[in-house]
Structure 1
Amino acid sequence: MEGYILEIATSDFESARSAVAGGADRIELCANLGEGGTTQSYGVIKRCRESFDVKIYPIIRVRGGDFFYTEEEFECMLYDALQCKELGCDGVVIGFLNRDASVDVKRTAQLVKAVYPMGVTFHRAFDRCKAPFEALEQLVNIGCERILTSGQELTAPEGAGLIAELNMAANGRISIMPGSGVRANNLAALAAQTKCHEFHTSLRELKKSNMTFFPPAFENNNENDHYSINKEAVRVMKKTLSTLS
C-alpha cells in the first residue's frame, strides 16, 4: 500500500468543513464525540455529502455506552445506515458486540450486506472485544474494510504493540487504523511501530461562542461553547504524514 490516509472525526458541518480544508482524506461524521460518537442528523449528513468531495463515513450508533444493543436499537441503526447509502455516502462506521464481548457476527454481516457496495469500518467496539485476533478474523470474513482501534488501551500510542500484531495478522486483508490520542508529535513513531497506513484523530479544540450576550445566570457557562476543528492542525498532521511517504 502506498501513501498514508488521514481520517478526521468531525461532529458537525462546521468541523467537517475545517477538516476538509485542512486536507483530510476521509471524514468520520459523528455527533456527540464526547460520548464516543453517535449518528448525526440526516440534514447534516446530506449537506456534508453535497458539499465535500472527500469520502464521508457517518457513524451508525444510536447512543453512547456499551455496544450491546436491543433489537429495536439495531433496527434503528440499520435504517440509519440505509439512509446514508441513499444519500450517497462512501461508507459507514459500525460496531456490534454480544453480551459476552464477542463480535455480533450476525448483525455485523447483516448490515455489511445491506449497505453494499458501501465500505464498512468496525469502530472501537473492537477494543472491548475479549478475543481481538478472533474478532479480526471474523471481521475479515464478514467483509469489513477496516478496524479502528487503540490496541485495547485508552490511546493508540499505549496500545501500539497490539496494533502492530493485529496489522501483521491482518496481512493486507483488512486495514488496521490506529485511533485515539493520535497527534502530529506521535505519528512518526506510531507509523514506524505499527506499520499502519491509515490514522484516525478528532483534533478537537474548544471554540468560544460568537454570541455577544448571555443572561447573567449563563455567563461563563461551558455550554455556551462547542468543540470544533482547526484546519491548520489538520494540515500539520497531513504534512507530518507526507514526510513518512
Structure 2
Amino acid sequence: MIEVIVQNAEEAMEAERLGVDRLELVSAIKEGGLTPSYATIKQVLNSVSIPVQIMIRPHSYNFTYRQGDKEIIYEDIRNVLYLGGKGIVFGALNDDHTIDEETLIEVIEISSELDITFHRAFDEISSQIEGYQLLCKYKEQVKRVLTSGGKRTCEEGKNNLIELIKIANQTDGPSILAGSGLTTNNFLNIHKLVHAYEYHFGSGVRKNQSFRNGFDKEAIRLIMNSH
C-alpha cells in the first residue's frame, strides 16, 4: 500500500492517475503538515476515488493540545465527515510524552465511521511499544500508525520498525505505516528489512525532492512496480 502526500485537488488527481493507493492531504507542509481548508478538503474529496486521509492538526508547536485546540480539532473532524470523508490523520500527546488517550477517545466518539491514522506524534512518545499497545485498544478506528521507528527517518529507525511490525503482526493491531525519508534509492532495501505492508512518501517522490514541484512520475512508477 503506497500513500503519498498531496496539497490540493490537482496533485490528488495526478497521484491517482499515477496509480498510488491512498493520499494524505495536508496544508502548510513546511510546518510538518496542518489541517487543510474546508474548500480544499471538499475539492479533493470530490476529485478522486482513492482513499484520502486528511490531516487534523491545528498548529505545529507541539502535539499537546489545550481545550481551545481540541474544540477546533473536533469541529474540523465534523467538517470532514460532513463533506463525505472518513479518513483523518491525528495524534495527541500528554506533557509526559505519552499518548493523550482521553483526547483520542473523544475523537473516536465523534463517529464510529472514522478511519484514523495516528501520525508521527508517535515518534515523540517515551515508549513506542507501550504506545502501540494502547492504540491496539482502539484498532477498530485507529487503522494505522505513521512512524519512522522513533527516529528522524525510516533508515535510522529501521530496527525499531522491524520490532513494531512484528508486534503488529502478532496482535493484529493497527498497521505500521512506515514513513519519513523514503526515496527510490532506499525504499527497496528498507522494505526487504522491515517488510511493512504500507509506506508513506513525501518529498521523495517529488521532482528535485521538493514539495514546490510536481510528482516525479518515474520515481512513483519505480516504487509502484517494486512492491
| TM-score, length-scaled by structure 2 | 0.91
Q: Distance in 1 between the 2:111 and 2:32 partners? A: 23
Determine helix, strand or coil for the equivalent of 1:18. Answer: helix
Which residue identity lines up with residue 229 of structure 1 in the other structure?
Answer: F
* Aligned residue in 2 for 1:88: 84
Deviation sequence 1:186-220 (CA, Å, 0-9, x none): 22222221121100011344699xxxxxxxxxxxx
Number of aligned residue pairs: 221
Per the TM alignment, residue 235 of structure 1 is displaced from its structure 2 partner at its CA by: 2.3
Which residue identity lines up with residue 121 of structure 1 in the other structure?
Answer: T
Query: Are residues 117 and 134 of structure 1, via their aligned partners in 2, closer, same or farther at CA, if it must alter by over 3 Å?
Result: same
* Aligned residue in 2 for 1:124: 120
* Aligned residue in 1 for 2:69: 73
- Structure 1 stretches of at least 4 aligned residues deviating more than 6 Å after TM superposition: none
* Aligned residue in 2 for 1:220: none
Determine helix, strand or coil for the equivalent of 2:193. Answer: helix
* Aligned residue in 1 for 2:224: 238
Q: How does 1:131-146 map to 2 (within 5 A)?
A: 131-143=127-139, 144-146=142-144
Does structure 1 residue 148 correspond to structure 2 residue 134? Answer: no
Does structure 1 residue 44 correspond to structure 2 residue 40? Answer: yes
Question: Is there any run of 5+ residues in structure 2 with no aligned partner, and where?
Answer: none
* Aligned residue in 2 for 1:175: 175
Contact map agreement 1:29 1:57 (CA 8 A) in 2: yes
| TM-score, length-scaled by structure 1 | 0.85
Larger Cα-atom Rg: 1
Determine helix, strand or coil for the equivalent of 2:43. Answer: helix
Determine helix, strand or coil for the equivalent of 2:190. Answer: helix
Q: How does 1:167-206 map to 2 (within 5 A)?
A: 167-171=165-169, 172-202=172-202, 203-205=205-207
What's the Cα RMSD here? 1.8
* Structure of greater relative contact order (alpha carbons < 8 Å, 6+ residues apart): 1
Percentage of identical aligned residues: 31
